[in-house]
Chain A
């Protein structure tokens, strides 16, 4: 993989991102889309957890919310890739970045398990999935900040 990272790092795109205002712009959009995504997700997760928004059934709470979660997630993913391109070999060995990636994989696994279990176990699976989701995303935010400090 080292060869791939070095090839990417030597590209004009990597140079442009890493040495101009493009990197701060990407990071700003990354943070903005992340907080927007988590702002919507927090409301949904707190309802699933049974902590807030109990006046609504789960479908009423999630109606019109999840498309924003997904849209913001895609923007965060694209801008995150853009930042990665600027220094892939440094990120690839950054332990905080690797933890962030691992937690992202767990978020995906959590979503898949929830979709499967929700058919059989109802609210309990919702609570478990919401608690896991909140903890994993807190971890992702923290790992993201640590990535910058360990770079």
Chain B
């Protein structure tokens, strides 16, 4: 059994799962409320980690200073990631086999890891060279934007992959 399959089994047997299933099924409006919080946190992440990439590419935020943008926005982005983690975890705990057995989840977390790594690397390097950015830095900024939107797209398709690519 795969690591994710084993993890899904552990979660499925834990009392946490019963609590999550009970909460999502019995608290009125809880699923769409948590999903709304999840999406609003993505908005903050986009604001904090994607808009500065547009600045590096020279296509937005022309009159803002890149190092100041990083100092101002990074804490917001980090807190939003915490909220994303918490709101997403509730659904994974409630339906571990559905999520952890879904290939799109692996793709989503792959994009997420790439996006975080590229965001961090570029922030370190481009901060030093700002306000001038090299072609390599602009290219990394573009890849970072694509990675973040890879996260958004793969997350949406998690819900659809079950019935679009059914067996038989």
Contacts and interface: CB of A to CB of B under 8 A. Distances in A.
Interface of A: 21, 24, 27-28, 31-32, 34-36, 38-40, 42-43, 52-53, 55-56, 59-61, 63-65, 68, 138, 141-142, 145-146, 148-149
A39 B50 contact: yes
Contacts of A38: 43, 46-47
Contacts of A36: 46, 50
Contact of B164 (A24, A35, A39, A145): A24
Contact of A31 (B64, B68, B156): B156
Contacts of A60: 63-64
Contact of A35 (B32, B33, B42, B62): B42
B153 A35 contact: no
Contacts of A55: 65, 68
Contacts of B160: 21, 24
B99 interface: no
B71 to A, nearest CB: 10
B121 interface: no
B40 interface: yes
Contacts, number: 89
A43 B63 CA distance: 13
Nearest to B58: A64
A61 B164 contact: no
Nearest to A60: B63
Given A31-B156, A52-B72, A64 B63 contact: yes
Contact of B152 (A31, A56, A138): A31
- 3 closest A-B pairs by CB: A39-B46, A60-B63, A39-B47
